Amino acid sequence: MDGYLDLIKMILPEILVEHFDLVESKKVGEKLNLYFEEKSVVPQEFKTRQLISKGFHKSITVQDFPLKGMFVFFHIKRRRWTDKESGDIVQRDWNLVANGTRMTKEFAAFLKSINQY
Protein backbone atom coordinates (compact mmCIF):
# COMPACT_ATOMS: atom_id res chain seq x y z
CA MET A 1 0.00 0.00 0.00
CA ASP A 2 1.33 3.45 -0.94
CA GLY A 3 0.02 5.10 2.18
CA TYR A 4 -3.03 6.92 3.34
CA LEU A 5 -4.35 7.69 -0.15
CA ASP A 6 -4.74 3.99 -0.95
CA LEU A 7 -6.56 3.44 2.34
CA ILE A 8 -8.86 6.39 1.73
CA LYS A 9 -9.67 5.06 -1.77
CA MET A 10 -10.88 1.82 -0.17
CA ILE A 11 -13.20 3.69 2.21
CA LEU A 12 -14.47 6.59 0.09
CA PRO A 13 -15.82 6.49 -3.47
CA GLU A 14 -12.81 6.68 -5.79
CA ILE A 15 -14.34 9.56 -7.73
CA LEU A 16 -14.36 11.72 -4.60
CA VAL A 17 -10.71 11.01 -3.93
CA GLU A 18 -9.67 11.75 -7.51
CA HIS A 19 -11.80 14.81 -8.32
CA PHE A 20 -12.46 16.45 -4.95
CA ASP A 21 -10.45 17.74 -2.00
CA LEU A 22 -11.55 16.89 1.52
CA VAL A 23 -11.57 20.36 3.08
CA GLU A 24 -13.17 19.65 6.44
CA SER A 25 -14.51 16.88 8.63
CA LYS A 26 -16.76 17.18 11.67
CA LYS A 27 -17.89 14.49 14.05
CA VAL A 28 -21.13 15.42 15.80
CA GLY A 29 -22.47 12.67 18.04
CA GLU A 30 -23.03 9.65 15.81
CA LYS A 31 -22.67 11.66 12.57
CA LEU A 32 -19.51 12.12 10.52
CA ASN A 33 -19.74 15.03 8.10
CA LEU A 34 -17.14 15.15 5.32
CA TYR A 35 -16.91 18.33 3.24
CA PHE A 36 -15.58 18.11 -0.32
CA GLU A 37 -14.78 20.74 -2.95
CA GLU A 38 -14.10 19.89 -6.57
CA LYS A 39 -10.42 20.35 -7.43
CA SER A 40 -9.45 23.37 -9.51
CA VAL A 41 -8.48 21.27 -12.52
CA VAL A 42 -9.96 22.23 -15.88
CA PRO A 43 -12.12 19.36 -17.18
CA GLN A 44 -10.59 17.44 -20.09
CA GLU A 45 -13.49 18.35 -22.39
CA PHE A 46 -12.62 22.07 -21.98
CA LYS A 47 -8.80 21.90 -22.23
CA THR A 48 -8.79 24.00 -25.41
CA ARG A 49 -10.71 26.87 -23.78
CA GLN A 50 -9.31 29.51 -21.46
CA LEU A 51 -11.28 29.06 -18.24
CA ILE A 52 -11.27 30.96 -14.97
CA SER A 53 -12.52 29.28 -11.79
CA LYS A 54 -15.58 31.17 -10.55
CA GLY A 55 -16.40 29.43 -7.31
CA PHE A 56 -18.84 26.64 -6.64
CA HIS A 57 -22.40 25.56 -7.12
CA LYS A 58 -24.55 25.22 -4.02
CA SER A 59 -23.42 22.34 -1.81
CA ILE A 60 -25.36 19.08 -1.92
CA THR A 61 -25.47 16.43 0.82
CA VAL A 62 -25.36 12.69 0.25
CA GLN A 63 -25.59 10.01 2.90
CA ASP A 64 -23.11 7.16 2.48
CA PHE A 65 -22.74 3.80 4.16
CA PRO A 66 -22.11 3.92 7.93
CA LEU A 67 -18.50 3.84 9.07
CA LYS A 68 -17.54 2.42 12.46
CA GLY A 69 -21.12 2.81 13.70
CA MET A 70 -21.44 6.44 12.56
CA PHE A 71 -23.75 7.89 9.94
CA VAL A 72 -21.62 9.38 7.13
CA PHE A 73 -22.66 12.44 5.14
CA PHE A 74 -20.78 13.87 2.16
CA HIS A 75 -21.24 17.60 1.61
CA ILE A 76 -20.12 18.18 -1.98
CA LYS A 77 -19.42 21.44 -3.80
CA ARG A 78 -18.97 21.24 -7.57
CA ARG A 79 -16.78 23.85 -9.23
CA ARG A 80 -17.85 26.11 -12.08
CA TRP A 81 -15.70 27.97 -14.56
CA THR A 82 -16.20 30.99 -16.81
CA ASP A 83 -14.91 30.91 -20.37
CA LYS A 84 -12.73 34.03 -20.59
CA GLU A 85 -13.52 34.57 -24.27
CA SER A 86 -17.28 33.90 -24.46
CA GLY A 87 -18.32 34.50 -20.84
CA ASP A 88 -20.11 31.12 -20.77
CA ILE A 89 -20.34 29.26 -17.46
CA VAL A 90 -19.10 25.67 -17.82
CA GLN A 91 -18.82 22.68 -15.51
CA ARG A 92 -17.46 19.15 -15.66
CA ASP A 93 -19.56 16.63 -17.60
CA TRP A 94 -20.00 13.85 -15.03
CA ASN A 95 -21.33 11.52 -17.75
CA LEU A 96 -17.82 11.50 -19.27
CA VAL A 97 -16.18 10.90 -15.89
CA ALA A 98 -18.49 7.99 -15.08
CA ASN A 99 -17.49 6.18 -18.30
CA GLY A 100 -13.82 6.18 -17.35
CA THR A 101 -13.98 5.31 -13.66
CA ARG A 102 -14.81 2.40 -11.45
CA MET A 103 -17.82 3.30 -9.34
CA THR A 104 -21.13 1.83 -8.36
CA LYS A 105 -24.05 2.42 -10.69
CA GLU A 106 -25.85 4.17 -7.84
CA PHE A 107 -23.04 6.66 -7.32
CA ALA A 108 -22.77 7.31 -11.08
CA ALA A 109 -26.54 7.93 -11.18
CA PHE A 110 -26.19 10.34 -8.26
CA LEU A 111 -23.47 12.30 -10.06
CA LYS A 112 -25.60 12.46 -13.20
CA SER A 113 -28.50 13.85 -11.16
CA ILE A 114 -26.39 16.67 -9.68
CA ASN A 115 -25.32 17.63 -13.20
CA GLN A 116 -28.73 19.37 -13.58
CA TYR A 117 -27.57 22.61 -11.90
21-38 core/surface letters (b: 16 or more CB in 10 A; e: else): eeeeeeeeeeebbbbbbb
pLDDT, one tens digit per residue, over 35-91 is: 999 999 888 778 888 898 888 988 888 888 788 889 988 898 989 989 888 988 888
Give 77-115 pLDDT, tens digit per residue. Answer: 989 989 888 988 888 766 544 454 444 566 666 666 666
- Report the alpha-carbon angle 108-101-52, nearest 5: 85
Q: Is the pTM of this model over 0.85?
A: no
Could you tell me if 79 and 53 are in contact, meaning their C-beta atoms sit under 8 angstroms apart?
A: yes
Q: How many CB atoms lie within 10 A of CB 104?
A: 10
